[in-house]
């Protein structure tokens, strides 16, 4: 009997798949009109003894919407050896399972309008974010460009100022060097004049000393000549006296 129930379920699988696909496509399946009304389920004997049609007429009073061919499913179970009560009970259980599965699916689903609205909102937010990012990027680029130009101008001014300072320093150093060279040249000329004057004075003093030496030498020769002459005269006088 379990094998027969499995075969019946396989036979009704296309109908179940179509019902599940319809539940995914349309959220209206979750409306209150498709749910089983609250209240206790009628007993199996209440379905009647007139066959499947009497049972289905009794279940039709429950205002349920089935998502598969219940008559074909019950008939298939009866052909497999189930009694009418068992077949109807299995059909009701399967219908409850399908209904609960569809309701669980519809709880997690949203309306297409809500999805489109959320998609549109996301697109608007993305466009706004993109616009803000582009604006911020352009603003940052403008600020960066302005800062770069300002730094470039300041560097150019600093280079010009540094060049002027270097030129002034070089001119001042050249002037100081030229003045120092002129002063050294003047001092060298003064020293040359002093040296020449000293040499001239030394030459003059040397000439005076030479003249004095010549005079002393002449006086000495005169004195020697006089002494020699006197000595010779004394010797001659003494010799005459002795002779």
Position 74 pLDDT exceeds 80: yes
Quote the pLDDT of residue 193: 92
For 51-64, write each residue's pLDDT tens digit: 444 344 444 434 46
Mean pLDDT of the chain: 77
pTM value is 0.32
* pLDDT computed for residue 184 by the predictor: 94
HEC assignment per residue over the chain: CHHHHHHHHHHCHHHHHHHHHHHHHCHHHHCHHHCCCCCCCCCHHHHCCCCHHHHHHHHHCCCCCCCCCHHHHHHHHHHCCCCHHHHHHHHHHHHHHHHHHHHHHHHCCCCHHHHHHHHHHHHHHHHHHHHHHHHHHHHHHHHHHHHHHHHHHHHHHHHHHHHHHHHHHHHHHHHHHHHHHHHHHHHHHHHHHHHHHHHHHHHHHHHHHHHHHHHHHHHHHHHHHHHHHHHHHHHHHHHHHHC
Dump pLDDT digits (tens) for 103-151.
Answer: 888 777 777 888 888 899 999 999 999 888 888 888 888 888 889 999 9
- Which pLDDT band holds residue 33 (cuts at 50, 70, 90)? very low
- Indicate if the pLDDT at residue 38 is higher than 60: no
């Amino acid at each position: 009997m379990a094998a027969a129930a499995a075969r019946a379920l396989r036979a009704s699988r296309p109908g179940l798949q179509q019902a599940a696909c319809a539940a995914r496509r349309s959220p209206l399946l979750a409306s209150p009109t498709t749910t089983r009304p609250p209240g206790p389920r009628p007993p199996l004997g209440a379905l009647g003894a007139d066959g499947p049609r009497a049972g289905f007429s009794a279940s039709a009073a429950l205002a349920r919407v089935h998502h598969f061919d219940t008559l074909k499913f019950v008939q298939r179970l009866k052909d497999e050896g189930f009694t009418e009560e068992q077949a109807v009970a299995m059909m009701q259980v399967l219908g409850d399972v399908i209904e609960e599965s569809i309701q669980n699916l519809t709880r997690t689903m949203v309306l297409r309008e809500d999805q489109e609205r959320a998609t549109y909102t996301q697109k608007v937010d993305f466009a706004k974010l993109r616009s803000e990012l582009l604006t911020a990027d352009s603003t940052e680029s403008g600020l960066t460009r302005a800062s770069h130009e300002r730094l470039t101008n300041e560097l150019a001014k600093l280079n010009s100022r540094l060049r002027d300072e270097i030129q002034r320093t070089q001119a001042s150093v050249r002037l100081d060097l030229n003045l120092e060279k002129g002063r050294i040249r003047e001092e060298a000329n003064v020293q040359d004049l002093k040296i020449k004057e000293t040499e001239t004075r030394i030459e003059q003093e040397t000439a005076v000393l030479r003249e004095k030496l010549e005079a002393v030498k002449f006086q000495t020769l005169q004195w020697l000549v006089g002494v020699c002459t006197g000595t010779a005269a004394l010797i001659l006088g003494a010799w005459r006296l002795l002779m």
